[in-house]
Amino acid sequence: MEGKRTIFSGIQPSGELTLGSYLGAIKNWVELSEEYNCYYCIVDMHAITVRQNPAELRKRTLEQLAQYIACGLDPKKNTIFIQSHVSAHAELAWILNCYTMYGELSRMTQFKDKSSRNAENINAGLFTYPALMAADILLYQSDLVPVGDDQKQHVELTRDIAQRFNSVYGEVFKMPEPFIPKVGARIMSLTSPENKMSKSDKDPGGCIYLMQKPEDIMRSFKRAVTDSDRKVKYDPVSKPGVSNLMTIYSVAANKSYDEIEAEFEGKGYGDFKPAVGEAVVELLRPIREEAERLLKDKNYLVSVYKEGAERASRAATRTLRKVCKKVGFVDR
């Protein structure tokens, strides 16, 4: 791993992994994993900014670990771990909170969205969430952060925080760059294509889940919202539903928009929608089967997350020690 550049990314176990998280993030994690020294985290501390059922959170965390591996992340080559197992995240998050401005946090789109959806629980954690995310990234001196479009603002704030800290104390943190895929950075809901496909979506028909059965995936695609124009053409402004399906098909079947338009020339949505469904079923089938197999081997999953936490801790502690020294804490 010496000499390789570093990647950090994470997903909250706040719901079942969706096709959006796969295409926007995990698929790129896998593609980048050979070239980089990678830390892939299950960010359970972020998840509790919204109330979780404890038993379900525990279950989903393990399922998410199995799904990371099933998507092709080899735990021998990548450090895969659970955020709450590495206490440096919480420690650095506190310190960075003191270098993050109220005004910056108030401008975060995800905070505005989530606080309007959870008006009864606008807690301080939800507000300061980006400082924890900055800690995640900066602890590992990450070069690259592969995320979907919606996380770009948080990575930019991470850079601002790092810059502010470095300008006071010298070059403590490496400046990370977001890595956003060209196609698939923003997968929309199948039933309301003006909204992002999201694991916390209340409308299950709008979402495709990695563990979903083929017949359910097919049903959701057949019911996907399109338009009355009957033309398979990429135009996200006037044809958001069809364009979203084209994006999904493009990544799942590895075809360009031009190729897709040509393939469905003169054909209607009755041919197009099931074709997208089939491509997604085939994309997800091996992932689901492998995740189901791994979930039967609890001991293996435990060994993966324990080893991951040990490796992550070693790297994270190096940065944390440096930071503690810089701000004036007495050596332990």
Helix ranges restricted to H, the chain: 19-21, 27-32, 44-47, 54-70, 88-97, 102-106, 109-117, 124-139, 152-169, 214-222, 240-253, 257-263, 269-295, 298-327
To the nearest whole angstrom, how small is the minimum distance from the Cβ of residue 184 to ligand TYM? 6
CB nearer to ligand TYM: give 63 or 136: 136
Look at residues 309, 316, 319 and name the one whose alpha carbon lies nearest to residue 84.
309
Length of the chain: 332
CB nearer to ligand TYM: give 132 or 218: 132
- Interface residues with ligand TYM (CB under 6 A)? 8-12, 20-21, 23-25, 43, 46, 133, 136-137, 145, 147-148, 150-151, 154, 185-187, 196-198
CB nearer to ligand TYM: give 38 or 43: 43
How is residue 153 annotated by DSSP? H
CB nearer to ligand TYM: give 264 or 319: 319
To the nearest whole angstrom, how small is the minimum distance from the Cβ of residue 9 to ligand TYM? 4
To the nearest whole angstrom, how small is the minimum distance from the Cβ of residue 301 to ligand TYM? 20
| Sole residue written with tokens 């592969």 | 146
Where in the sequence numbering do the catalytic residues fall? 114, 196, 199
* 226 and 245 Cβ atoms separated by less than 8 Å: yes
To the nearest whole angstrom, how small is the minimum distance from the Cβ of residue 311 to ligand TYM? 17
Angstrom distances, CA of residue 94 to CA of 103, 264, 268, 320, 330:
17, 54, 55, 11, 17
Q: How far apart are CA 40 and CA 75, in angstroms?
A: 10
